[in-house]
Structure 1
Amino acid sequence: MNQTPETVLSPAPLMELTGAFWAFKTFAAAVELGLFTRLSDGRKMTMTEVAKELDIHERPADMFLAGCASLGLLEKDGETYGNSVLAEEFLVEGRPRYFGGFVRYCDQREYPAWHHVVDVMRSNKPATWDPEKQDSVFATEDPLMLELFWEAMHSLSMYTAATLGGVFDFGAHRRLLDVGGGSGAYPIELCRQYPHLSATVLDLEHVRGIAERKAEEAGLSEAIDFTVGDFRADESLPGGYDIILLSSILHDWDEDTDRSLLRKCWEALEEGGSIIICELLLNAERSGPPAAALMGLNMVVETEGGRNYSETEYLSWLADAGFRDARVIRFEAAGANGTVVARK
């Protein structure tokens, strides 16, 4: 039987996987060079003008701009290039929804670490920090990495929080405790959507200034406060809250740590209150989706015991901790594909 072009097995998908880093590094270079910021507010430049302004040669500038255009980051009009709608919205520095922090963090910290992924799998030790010298990945004293990390998490979390606020009704709740809430992106977005809501960010001392600054910039200092705490080391969580949020927290730790935290949440939560686990959830078969599966391997590169878990595992852990009426709400956002909700 003769094979048609449609039935011939092709290595094209493998080539796409192999060259995936080309796209990322082109994107990261554009962010590092400030290309999208220079082209903001409708400004357009020719290839020669871009080369001169970015201090790069014309031959690489030609291919660089073609690459950015091919990725949907730039639009070409005659001989000039300008920002695409996507780049104008998310990649101009100083804008409220700037996503470049996440790009820079991945480029400067995670991309180099992934060069050692085979070593990580053989040693079962993270590549971005030394467990013998630090308590956790979050205890970094490097001010640049600290800034990049929280700017990255803030930009990613803001979009996810906006989606969460649309699929789960916070209207029946009054006080939110965001455990390990970092910069406070979730409380900021949720308090915007639900003005009656007040929130507390619980995190380590070195994050306090970032979270308080973000809340002030959002005009929500009266609605959002900060409590210093270590949810792993502390025997209990603060009480007085009728909803507790764990956003991209449980994938950082091993099962025993997660189960312990869920028990603390149950003990601290008001009767009738809710817990929300917001994550990139693996399916029950643990075969995908790709974003959740690959983020899980990234947790192996970045953490001592973390991995991405399936919705089935979370449902089981919640039941064991004493929660009831657990359910999964699926959605698509930049930092999560669903949430697991349960009640006390």
Structure 2
Amino acid sequence: MASKRDGKAASFVRLASDIWAFQTTAVLAAALELDVFSAIGSGKRTSVEIASATNSQVRGMERLLDTLTSLKYLKKTHNRYGLEPIAATFLVRESPMYMEGASQVIRGMTMLWSTLADAVKAGASLAGPVSEDQARAFFPILVKQIFPMNYTASQSAIRKMPKARLSRIQRILDIGGGAAAWSIPFAENLRKARATLIDYPEMTAIAREYAARFKVGDRFDFLEGNFFEIDWGSEQFDLAILGHIVHGEGVERAKQLMRRACIALKPGGILLIADFIPNENRTGPALALMFGLNMFVATPEGGVYTMGEYRAWLKEAGFKRVTTVAANAPSPLILAHK
């Protein structure tokens, strides 16, 4: 007899889908590692052509291509394959929005998540503290991979912000800015604005590359080093950005960043915070809670925080008002007004 909950029969199909969900990740990781999407983007259309271009055997490639078609990353007409828009935009190497390094990040995350049960038993990450050298090796890979997600989120936020408010932004501070995914769209839309990006030299080199690619490189300045150790100045900026920084720092260091951002902003300035935000009861959204679990297995103190927590910390930091703006992002973006 099927077990029941709330009057509904339990479904094994949902359980199987969840248990086997890793297979979708593995399919995409393999396709990216083999550069399948770029091969198709360059004009290879049949499984024979794509296998040859990726130094693969046709038998395996056919199965991979058909599975990618079922997942809506490819389209198939008779024996010829084409790219769906999502693949053409984000998964082809020649695209300016290419998710470079995704397969490497996936491999690392897979290894970390395999320690989840042991980490839960221990109550802490088994990975140990990340050294500065490790961070400087890892983050250049990560910031390229997440550039498209953050760039499109920043673009959508700008479209939602009042034009009068945007017109007052002339100086931008991008804290731990990585590839400048958050500040580049502001520079593109605000021709008189100038951005200062703070990060390690390994990341500022990437930010210079991306800013030049989007033709705003002449309006970027760079402060190189650990952003906790660099002086940000006082009342110099109209907009400060913490783009997916807070979740990696732990509560006390996150609060410190908010206090310093408030000091660096001019009166009337805005701090933009992008992150994964669960609801107040921490019962959803699933993506935010999954990311919080990712921080648990990957870092000593990282996590995700509710809007109630953010509001309290931002008020404590000196901000007068906190609002949110819906964006093409996992969670709404936070705007804290000084």
TM-score over 0.5 for the pair:
yes
Which residue does 1:9 correspond to in 2? 10
Which residue does 1:138 correspond to in 2? 135
Q: By how many angstroms is 1:229 displaced?
A: 4.2
CA deviations on 1:281-306 (whole Å, 9 max, x unpaired) are: 11111111111111111111222211
Q: 2:233 aligns with which of 238, 254, 262?
A: 238
Taking the aligned partners of 2:111 and 2:88, their CA distance within structure 1 comes to 28
Taking the aligned partners of 1:304 and 1:289, their CA distance within structure 2 comes to 23
Q: By how many angstroms is 1:206 displaced?
A: 3.0
Q: By how many angstroms is 1:233 displaced?
A: 3.6
- Partner amino acid, structure 1, of 2:159: G
What pairs up with 1:1-344 in 2 under 5 angstroms?
7-40=8-41, 43-101=43-101, 103-126=102-125, 130-131=128-129, 134-135=131-132, 138-140=135-137, 145-169=138-162, 170-234=166-230, 236-239=231-234, 240-333=236-329, 336-344=330-338
The 8 Å contact of residues 276 and 341 in structure 1, kept in 2 or not, is answered as: yes
CA deviations on 1:237-261 (whole Å, 9 max, x unpaired) are: 2231121111111111111111111
Taking the aligned partners of 2:157 and 2:240, their CA distance within structure 1 comes to 14
**CA 1:146–1:181 in 2, change beyond 3 Å: closer, same or farther?**
closer
Q: Secondary structure at the match of 1:243?
A: strand
CA deviations on 1:76-108 (whole Å, 9 max, x unpaired) are: 10121122222112211021011243x223323
- Partner amino acid, structure 2, of 1:265: A
CA deviations on 1:166-225 (whole Å, 9 max, x unpaired) are: 222422211110111112121112211222221110122332222222222322122111
**CA 1:270–1:147 in 2, change beyond 3 Å: closer, same or farther?**
closer
Q: Secondary structure at the match of 2:182?
A: helix
Task: Show structure 2 runs of 5+ residues with no match.
Answer: none
Structure 1 stretch 28-37 or stretch 196-205: which is displaced more?
Answer: 196-205
The 8 Å contact of residues 172 and 239 in structure 2, kept in 1 or not, is answered as: yes
**CA 1:49–1:230 in 2, change beyond 3 Å: closer, same or farther?**
closer
Taking the aligned partners of 1:139 and 1:153, their CA distance within structure 2 comes to 16
**CA 1:257–1:59 in 2, change beyond 3 Å: closer, same or farther?**
same
Identity of aligned residues (%): 25
Q: By how many angstroms is 1:122 displaced?
A: 3.4
Taking the aligned partners of 1:162 and 1:189, their CA distance within structure 2 comes to 6
Q: By how many angstroms is 1:3 displaced?
A: 11
Taking the aligned partners of 2:239 and 2:30, their CA distance within structure 1 comes to 41
Taking the aligned partners of 2:179 and 2:50, their CA distance within structure 1 comes to 35
Q: By how many angstroms is 1:136 displaced?
A: 7.8
**CA 1:166–1:124 in 2, change beyond 3 Å: closer, same or farther?**
farther
**CA 1:137–1:277 in 2, change beyond 3 Å: closer, same or farther?**
farther
Aligned residue pair count: 331
TM-score (norm 2): 0.90
Q: By how many angstroms is 1:154 displaced?
A: 2.3
